[in-house]
Amino acid sequence: MSTDVSAPIIDIRGLSLAYERDGRRNVILQALDLAIPRGQFLVIVGESGVGKSTLLRVLIDLAKPSGGTVTLNTDPKSRTPMALVFQDARLLPWRRVLSNVAFGLERIGMPKRERCERAQAMLSLVGLGDLGQRWPHQLSGGQRQRVALARALAVEPEVLLMDEPFSALDSFTREGLQDEVQRIQQKTCKTVLFVTHDIDEAVYLADRVVVLAGAPGRIAADVSIDLPRPRQRRDATLVEAARTLRAELSRRSADL
Amino acid sequence: MTLFRSTALAVVGLIVFLGLWEAAPRFELVNPAFLPPPSTIPAAFLKEIRSGAWLVAVIESLSHYLVGLAVGAGAGIGLGLVSGMFRWFENLTAWIVRLLRPIPGLAWVPFAILWFGVEPRAAIFIIAIGVFWIVFFATQGAVRGVDRDLVEVAQAFGFRSAWSRLTKILLPAATPGMLVGLRTALGQAWMAVVAAEIFGVPGIGQRMMQASSLLSTDIVVVYMLTMAALYGLCDSAFVALQGWLLRWRP
């Protein structure tokens, strides 16, 4: 069975997630429908606690949904259809940088030499080709996040999940990494599911922005950003899109 | 400059200590048979080396020490890992641990002699028991304390079996805590060596008992200093190993 290229690579139907704590039922996500076309750069924005991160955790199987289905239309031969970049880089401190990048490859039985070569290539791709022999604690916050990105890219996922990956960085570093992600996504044509609470970041990066709002989280807006890349940060269309989304978000929170 | 001052002070302190020690038996403040002055120690040391007894005792004791340490630490690490990883195992063993833990290693001497005789194996058994508990609790605590976020990284990259969780994350992440326990055990095991050998298993402890019964207190002091030196050597070697194993830490 070959994969249907026109079908959404991820099809989420009626997804719910709730848990019980101290006899109270907390609903994080309820009846969420979301179809993500192959190759799309989808950014999910929303305030803290609307379940953005939870959605990614469900997709990578770190959290169990309590209802609904997730259909993956990825290559059945691929052993790592998805990879996640965490908000904090979460490098393994006892491994050198290169070995951190190669981490995910150890599971798929790739010979060591090949793992090192692939890791080195990914490290070069994120601009840190010379730092492979460093320890994670010797890197800056921005460099650590680049290594985390390289580690995720190394397993050649079809879908790259990114959970507020730049929120802990200073704005200068953040903009540099946004450009980097944009460049890499264009080069590799990967599907990217990027979660953020920064609307400017969302409109700058996205082909499509989905706004999650409310408790439990629901899709409050779904906006396409048709603008050629590379983009200008001060582009009038982006500024306008950001303004509309802000208005939408504040209207939604006023409704609650 | 401060380094020079502190070193100089340490030297002065040691000289004063040796001076007082030398003076006490020389001026008959204590009976020289009960406390040999330090100036007699080098000669006694040479005599003991020449007779060959020193080397034999040291090799015997070191072999008890290393084997006991390896057995106790191996069992402690193994069971500590399992107990730290699996809550059911911790629950299963909770009361057994509570029952056996307070029993001092030396309280096992009667059984050690019954089971193994006055043999090296009895000494090894006693040393291993003392080491076991320290390493067991250190390992269990270290595994329990591993950052769950790092375990999640492994899961996110598809490492989902208990074995891969252990080898990829728990073991390296718990190494600092385990090494702290091992270093404590290193000292504990030395104490157990003497205690175990005093009951007659050949080694430094037995040699000390023989010497003391002949009132050769200078020989006793020779072995006391030998033990201090051997322990210092082992501890330094361990600290070097620890530094290398933990070279990834800032």
DSSP assignment of B74-134, as one string? Answer: HHHHHHHHHHHH-HHHHHHHHHHHHHHTTS-GGGGHHHHHHHH-SSHHHHHHHHHHHHHHH
CA of B173: which chain A residue's CA is closest? A94
Residues of chain A numbered 72-101 and touching chain B (CB < 8 Å): 79-80, 83-84, 86, 88, 90, 92-96
Specify if A37 maps to a domain.
no
Record: contact B149-A135, CB cut-off 8 A: no
Q: Position of tokens 């609903």? A: A27
pLDDT band at A149 (very low <50, low <70, confident <90, very high): very high
Q: Could you report the per-residue pLDDT of B42-87, keeping only the tens digit for each? A: 999 999 999 999 999 999 999 999 999 999 999 999 999 999 999 9
Residues of chain B whose beta carbon is less than 8 angstroms from a beta carbon of chain A are: 149-150, 152-153, 155-159, 164, 168-169, 172-173, 175, 247-250
Percentage of chain A beyond pLDDT 70 is 96
The token duo for A71 is 């259909």
Residues of chain A numbered 35-54 and touching chain B (CB < 8 Å): none
ipTM topping 0.95: no
Amino acid A3: pLDDT: 57
Total of domains in chain A: 1
Q: Could you report the per-residue pLDDT of A90-140, keeping only the tens digit for each? A: 999 999 999 999 999 999 888 999 999 999 999 999 999 999 999 999 999
* pLDDT averaged over every residue in chain A: 89
Return the number of CB contacts < 8 Å for A and B. Answer: 52
Amino acid A255: pLDDT: 61
Specify if A13 maps to a domain.
no
Record: contact A80-B157, CB cut-off 8 A: yes
Amino acid A1: pLDDT: 45
Among A93, A107, A135, whose Cβ lies nearest the Cβ of B158? Answer: A107
The token duo for A182 is 């944009």
- Per-residue pLDDT, averaged over A213-235, amounts to 84
Per the structure, the complete domain to which residue A126 belongs is given by 90-156
Specify if A139 maps to a domain.
yes
Amino acid B19: pLDDT: 94
Amino acid A25: pLDDT: 82
Record: contact A104-B157, CB cut-off 8 A: yes
Residues of B with Cβ-Cβ distance to A94 under 8 angstroms: 172-173, 175, 248
Q: Could you report the per-residue pLDDT of B163-198, keeping only the tens digit for each? A: 999 999 999 999 999 999 999 999 989 888 888 888
| Least Cα separation, residue A85 to chain B (angstroms) | 9
- Per-residue pLDDT, averaged over A181-191, amounts to 90
CA of B244: which chain A residue's CA is closest? A94
pLDDT surpassing 80 at residue A237: yes
Between A1 and A63, the more confident residue is: A63
Amino acid A253: pLDDT: 65
pLDDT band at A209 (very low <50, low <70, confident <90, very high): very high
Specify if A138 maps to a domain.
yes
- Taking the C-alpha atoms of residue A190 and residue A174, their distance in angstroms, rounded to an integer, is 21
Q: Could you report the per-residue pLDDT of A16-34, keeping only the tens digit for each? A: 898 888 888 888 888 889 9
Specify if A95 maps to a domain.
yes
Specify if A102 maps to a domain.
yes
Partner residues linked to A82 by β-bridges: A159
- Per-residue pLDDT, averaged over A156-168, amounts to 93
Amino acid B215: pLDDT: 84
Record: contact A80-B249, CB cut-off 8 A: no
Residues of A with Cβ-Cβ distance to B159 under 8 angstroms: 107
| Least Cα separation, residue A78 to chain B (angstroms) | 12
Record: contact A93-B152, CB cut-off 8 A: no
3-class secondary structure, B225: helix
Residues of B with Cβ-Cβ distance to A155 under 8 angstroms: 157
pLDDT band at A4 (very low <50, low <70, confident <90, very high): low
Architecture of domain B40-245: Orthogonal Bundle (1.10)
Residues of A with Cβ-Cβ distance to B150 under 8 angstroms: 90, 92
Specify if A59 maps to a domain.
no
The token duo for B65 is 């020490």
3-class secondary structure, B199: coil
Among B152, B153, B248, whose Cβ lies nearest the Cβ of A94? Answer: B248
Q: What is the pTM of this model?
A: 0.86
- Per-residue pLDDT, averaged over B34-43, amounts to 90
